[in-house]
Amino acid sequence: PKISPFLEPGKTTKVGSLAILQLSRDNLQPVYLQAPSGKHDGYAEGAVVNTRYGSFPHSTMIGVPWGSQIRASKVDTGSRGRNNKRKRNKSDDDGKEGPAAIPEAKTEPESTPAEVIDDSSAATKKVVADVSGFIHILPPTPEVWTSSLPHRTQVVYTPDYSYVLHRIRARPGSVLIEAGAGSGSFTHASVRAVYNGYPTEAERKGKVYSFEFHEQRFHKMNKELKEHNLGGLVHLTHRDVYSGGFLIDGKSPEAEAIFLDLPAPWEALHHLSRRNPKNPGDKDWVSPLNPKRSAHICTFSPCIEQVTKTVSAMRRLGWVGIDMVEIVNRKYHTSRERVGLNLSMDRGVNNSARDVDEALARLTEIETRFREHAAKSKESDDEMDGDDDGGLIKMREKKELKGGKRRGGEKKVKVDHKPASPESFETPASGVPLWMEGRLITRGEPEIKTHTSYLVFATLPREWTDQDEAAAASRYPVVG
């Protein structure tokens, strides 16, 4: 069976690949790449993704290394015009034969992976003239999937799930229970955490048992798991876990890690015991937990009242090491403070001739000042501060100076004022060394806007029977 592209995407894109198109930092769009066949008779090129950054035929995105930059193409919509069954107004295309129009971009990502954004009302839309934008094509990962997936519910985001998976000790080979599945954001992250990377099914270990009681969400999620080739590693059950628990056909999944994203986790907890909480002597009772391993749980609840109820139920059911964490995630935005260079790095925007001239003039000025500064610094190491040519230059100089012995006049440091590797600072778009354009500025969000949820963690120690004790005692005899 094929391995999921979320686990092993390969090196290059292929026909049929699920690709995540990164239009801008926070604008990600999932797309299944299609062969350039005549199937999409609207476009001569086959399937095309239209964005505000231009048009991107699938054919230009197939067979390229993941992470590639894809340039926009001029799309020939000639055949589309002729084949378009919809009767178009004369005024739509100024009476010309066939539309030369490239349909205006969709600015929002589609709610589901787009086969092709084939907007039949395009003829009535604005013409996007010269397209010179670009996008990046990314392999599917849980992180980009979380940012682009079709939302059916609130989802768990990366800062929360990365911490949760670490705390519940999800690792290659683990068996994990999750409820409810919702939109599958946590599911994708957890399956990668438990996948052990072995190529054959027999050797492959690690499994996620996921539960969802909402029928439509269950079906959508099942479809998605199949499309993502995750069916073998995720077992999805349509069930109300409060009443139905976590067994699979009456058998234990033998889980050791549990994540509950449910409105009332305390109502599901009694199923996650080692013995029947109402009748500990019940021999027929089957626990969903691995008897040989401690179980680590996390419940995810937005309200503190839910936390109180969960903690109380955990205490009564023998869970230990109970604690609560709230992930307060702050984004930092790092950018380069351009020193008057009007080199627009915005996507899709051509630098005009005027900009380039200005940029070159400014560059020459910077370079001159830089050389003067370098010459001065050669005379005196200590004259480095007070020049505003960019923090990066200063930083570099300081770093290099640190390497030698400066104090006590033991050794005069030879300062090479050229960057260690100029190529690495070159920006292909403008040809201007990045380090000359200004210093890096980092700004944190002024306030934390979002409360996600409270995370309650706890551990249920493993079973310890007389036989376990005897086996341990023979291996590690008690001395004395």
Q: How far is the CB of 298 from ligand SAM (least distance, A)?
A: 11
Total site size for ligand SAM, rule CB under 6 A:
22
Closest CA to 159 of 6, 20, 29, 330: 330
- Cβ 231 to ligand SAM shortest distance, Å: 18
Closest CA to 363 of 385, 380, 386, 338: 338
Instruction: Report the 3 state secondary structure along the chain.
Output: CCCCCCCCCCCECCCCCEEEEEEECCEEEEEECCCCCCCCCCCCCCCEEEECCEEEEHHHHCCCECCCEEECECCCCHHHHHHCCCCCCHHHHCCCCCCCCCCCCECCCCCCCECCCCCCCHHHCCCCCCCCCEEEEECCCHHHHHHHCCCCCCCCCHHHHHHHHHHCCCCCCCEEEEECCCCCHHHHHHHHHHCCCCCCCCCCCCEEEEEECCHHHHHHHHHHHHHCCCCCCEEEEECCHHHHCCCECCECCCECEEEECCCCHHHCHHHHCCCCCCCCCCCCCCCCECCCCCEEEEEEECCHHHHHHHHHHHHHCCCEEEEEEECCCCCEEEEECCCCCCCCCCCCCCCCHHHHHHHHHHHHHHHHHHHHHHHHHHHCCCCCCCCCCCHHHHHHHHHHHHHCCCHHHCCCCCCCCCCCCHHHHECCCCCCEHHHCCCEEEEECCCCCCCCCEEEEEEECCCCCHHHHHHHHHHCCCCC
Residue list 225-264, contact with ligand SAM (CB under 6 A): 240-242, 261-263
Give the shortest CB-452-to-ligand SAM separation in angstroms: 11
> Between residues 257 and 392, which has the closer beta carbon with respect to ligand SAM?
257
- Is the Cβ of residue 160 or residue 389 nearer to ligand SAM in the bound state? 160
For residues 264 to 303, the per-residue mask of contacts with ligand SAM, x marking binding by CB under 6 A and - elsewhere, is ----------------------------------------
In whole angstroms, the minimum distance from the beta carbon of 301 to ligand SAM comes to: 10
Q: Residue 263 or 340: which CB sits closer to ligand SAM? A: 263
Question: Scanning residues 323 to 382, which ones bind ligand SAM (CB under 6 A)?
Answer: none
Candidate ranges 71-79, 174-182, 196-204, 355-363; the one touching ligand SAM (CB under 6 A): 174-182
CB of 217 to ligand SAM, least distance (A): 5
Q: Minimum distance from CB of 177 to ligand SAM (Å)?
A: 11
The contact pattern for ligand SAM, residues 178-217, with x = CB under 6 A and - = no contact, is: -xx-xxxxx------------------------xxxx--x
Task: List the one residue from 27, 73, 154, 329 that touches ligand SAM (CB under 6 A).
Answer: 154
Q: How far is the CB of 243 from ligand SAM (least distance, A)?
A: 8
Any contact of residue 160 with ligand SAM (CB under 6 A)? no
Q: Are strands 295-301 and 69-71 parallel, antiparallel or unpaired?
A: unpaired
Of these, 18, 70, 155, 233, which contacts ligand SAM (CB under 6 A)? 155
Q: Name the residue with tokens 């003239």.
A: 129
Q: How far is the CB of 223 from ligand SAM (least distance, A)?
A: 15
Distance CA 216, CA 199 (A): 33
Specify the residue, 245 or 419, whose C-beta has the smaller distance to ligand SAM: 245
Nearer to ligand SAM, 261 or 397 (CB): 261
**70 versus 144: smaller Cβ distance to ligand SAM:** 144
Using the contact rule CB under 6 A, the part of the chain among 68-76, 152-160, 319-327, 389-397 near ligand SAM is: 152-160
Q: State which residue, 107 or 243, has the beta carbon closest to ligand SAM.
A: 243
Strands 207-212 and 332-336, sheet pairing: unpaired
Q: What φ, ψ does residue 453 adopt, rounded to 5°?
A: -160, 165
Q: Which is nearer to ligand SAM, 49 or 155 (CB)?
A: 155
> Measured from the CB atom, is 263 or 461 closer to ligand SAM?
263
| 78 versus 245: smaller Cβ distance to ligand SAM | 245
Instruction: Sketch the per residue contact string, 389 through 428, with ligand SAM: x for CB under 6 A, - otherwise.
Output: ----------------------------------------
Q: Which is nearer to ligand SAM, 145 or 435 (CB)?
A: 145
**In angstroms, what is the minimal distance from the CB of 195 to ligand SAM?**
18
Would you state the structure tokens that stand for residue 422, as one six-digit string? Answer: 């100029």
- Can you give the binding site for ligand SAM, defined by CB under 6 A? 153-156, 179-180, 182-186, 211-214, 217, 240-242, 261-263
